[in-house]
């Protein structure tokens, strides 16, 4: 259920609502929109006497939320969510561009990518340090050293860092080096990990599970939000279908569907969706045209020699060309492209 607070309600009157909820052992999540204050109420409502909330002067109306996800639902923040991470906005008019290699292999490799992508709109440097690989015999990532490299290079080019962790044991260490923690497709329903990053309060990018429906994905988001962490970016990265021409199938319709169902920013990963560098451009343009708030693209200085995902990484030069085309689409759809 959400409580829509009457415009002009005083702080004391709002406090009265919060106290009532607390007395009934209900958890309150306050969302302060530009026009409205909304309180998401989570918990067993049987202790709440009928009419108890409606009688409070600050309550305008109560709206039941039928979906199993509550805080992630559009009703919780009808105007949409945008937030800043160290001054960089996500979910606002300006597109959020993230780029970098699949895996951190060396400082030189990351630097070669960062020097180019930072000059054409990217604000986040991506790079895997803890690599979730299908087989234990593939390159597993440089782990702690990888995070340090990412931070050093990002600072050199005024970029923020996004990187994946696969275990709750790594949250504290990673938080010292990264600005956004990525939860990958393979951990999309690792509920303990989701709750743990929810408690940490560090911004999170939650990728869609390989075979996760949109409602299940929103359930995953709810695990993070219900712990009080609202800085969440959803990342559509393709789903497994019967089609094998591409590594996954990019679910373009997930973009408008998410815009209707949730208030959270949506980023698209054309690299893991296609698995092939030659399709990254088309999927990127389509995603932005369909209303995505940004992209996360794998870029490697020499894709053929990459230690992971060699087939899907594009070169810095191709990223440069792509960014010009994204900027053109942005103009048409009234979004800003970062300069
Ligand atoms: C990644 O972004 O490095 C990654 C492994 O992607 P996904 O979890 O979407 O497969
Ligand atoms: Mn990859």
Nearest-angstrom CA–CA distance, 292 and 305 = 31
Q: Please indicate, yes or no, whether residues 46 and 106 belong to a single structural domain of this protein.
A: no
Task: Establish if 74 belongs to a structural domain.
Answer: no
Q: For every one of its 339 residues, what pLDDT tens digit does the chain have, with 9 covering 90 and above?
A: 999 999 999 999 999 999 999 999 999 999 998 888 999 999 988 888 988 999 999 999 999 999 999 999 999 999 999 999 999 999 999 999 999 999 999 999 999 999 999 999 999 999 999 998 999 999 999 999 999 999 999 999 999 999 999 999 999 999 999 999 999 999 999 999 999 999 998 999 999 999 999 999 999 999 999 999 999 999 999 999 999 999 999 999 999 999 999 999 999 999 999 999 999 999 999 999 999 999 999 999 999 999 999 999 999 999 999 999 999 999 999 999 998
Give ligand 1 pocket residues (Cβ under 6 A): 102, 128, 132, 164, 184-186, 207, 237, 269, 272
Phi and psi for 170 in degrees, rounded to 5? -95, 0
Domain count, the chain: 2
Nearest-angstrom CA–CA distance, 204 and 265 = 11
Expressed in angstroms and rounded, the spacing between residue 163 Cα and the centre of ligand 2 is 11
Q: Please indicate, yes or no, whether residues 109 and 178 belong to a single structural domain of this protein.
A: yes
Asked whether 320 and 113 are in contact (CB, 8 A), the reply is no
Expressed in angstroms and rounded, the spacing between residue 102 Cα and the centre of ligand 2 is 4
Q: Please indicate, yes or no, whether residues 193 and 319 belong to a single structural domain of this protein.
A: yes
Q: Please indicate, yes or no, whether residues 184 and 37 belong to a single structural domain of this protein.
A: no
Asked whether 214 and 261 are in contact (CB, 8 A), the reply is yes
Q: Please indicate, yes or no, whether residues 28 and 153 belong to a single structural domain of this protein.
A: no
Expressed in angstroms and rounded, the spacing between residue 158 Cα and the centre of ligand 1 is 24
Q: Please indicate, yes or no, whether residues 44 and 160 belong to a single structural domain of this protein.
A: no
CATH number at residue 46: 3.30.70.1140
Task: Establish if 167 belongs to a structural domain.
Answer: yes
Nearest-angstrom CA–CA distance, 281 and 270 = 8
Task: Establish if 76 belongs to a structural domain.
Answer: no
Q: Please indicate, yes or no, whether residues 38 and 95 belong to a single structural domain of this protein.
A: no
Task: Establish if 306 belongs to a structural domain.
Answer: yes
Domain boundary among 35, 64, 93: 64
Q: Please indicate, yes or no, whether residues 201 and 93 belong to a single structural domain of this protein.
A: yes
The range of the structural domain enclosing residue 29 comes to 2-64
Q: In terms of Cα–Cα distance, which of 269, 288, 259, 278 is closest to 318? A: 278
Q: Please indicate, yes or no, whether residues 231 and 108 belong to a single structural domain of this protein.
A: yes
Q: In terms of Cα–Cα distance, which of 79, 185, 87, 167 is closest to 129? A: 167
Task: Establish if 78 belongs to a structural domain.
Answer: no
């Amino acid at each position: 259920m959400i409580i829509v607070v009457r415009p002009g309600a005083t702080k004391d009157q709002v406090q009265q609502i919060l106290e009532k909820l607390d007395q009934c052992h209900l958890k309150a999540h306050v969302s302060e929109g530009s026009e409205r204050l909304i309180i998401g109420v989570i918990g067993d409502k049987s202790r709440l006497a009928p009419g108890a909330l409606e009688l409070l002067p600050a309550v305008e109306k109560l709206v039941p939320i039928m979906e199993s996800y509550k805080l992630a639902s559009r009703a919780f923040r009808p105007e949409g969510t945008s937030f800043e991470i160290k001054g960089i906005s996500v979910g606002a008019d300006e597109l959020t561009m993230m780029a970098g290699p699949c895996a951190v292999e060396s400082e030189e490799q990351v630097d070669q990518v960062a020097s180019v992508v930072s000059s054409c709109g990217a604000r986040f440097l991506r790079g895997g340090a803890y690599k979730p690989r299908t087989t234990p015999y593939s390159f597993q990532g440089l782990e702690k050293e990888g995070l340090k490299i990412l931070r050093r290079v990002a600072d050199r080019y005024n970029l923020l860092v996004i990187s994946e962790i696969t275990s709750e044991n790594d949250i504290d260490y990673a938080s010292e080096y990264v600005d956004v923690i990525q939860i990958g497709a393979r951990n999309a329903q690792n509920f303990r990990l989701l709750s743990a990053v929810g408690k940490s309060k560090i911004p999170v990018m939650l990728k869609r599970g390989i075979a996760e429906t949109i409602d299940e994905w929103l359930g995953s988001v709810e695990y993070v939000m219900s712990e009080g962490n609202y800085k969440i970016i959803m990342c559509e990265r393709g789903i497994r279908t019967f089609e094998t021409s591409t590594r996954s199938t990019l679910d373009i319709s997930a973009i408008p569907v998410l815009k209707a169902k949730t208030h959270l920013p949506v980023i698209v990963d054309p690299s893991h969706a296609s698995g092939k560098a030659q399709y990254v451009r088309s999927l990127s343009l389509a995603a932005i045209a369909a209303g995505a708030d940004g992209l996360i693209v794998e870029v490697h200085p020499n894709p053929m020699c990459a230690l992971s995902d060699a087939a899907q990484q594009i070169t810095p030069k191709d990223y440069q060309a792509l960014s010009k085309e994204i900027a053109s689409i942005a103009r048409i759809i009234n979004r800003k492209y970062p300069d």
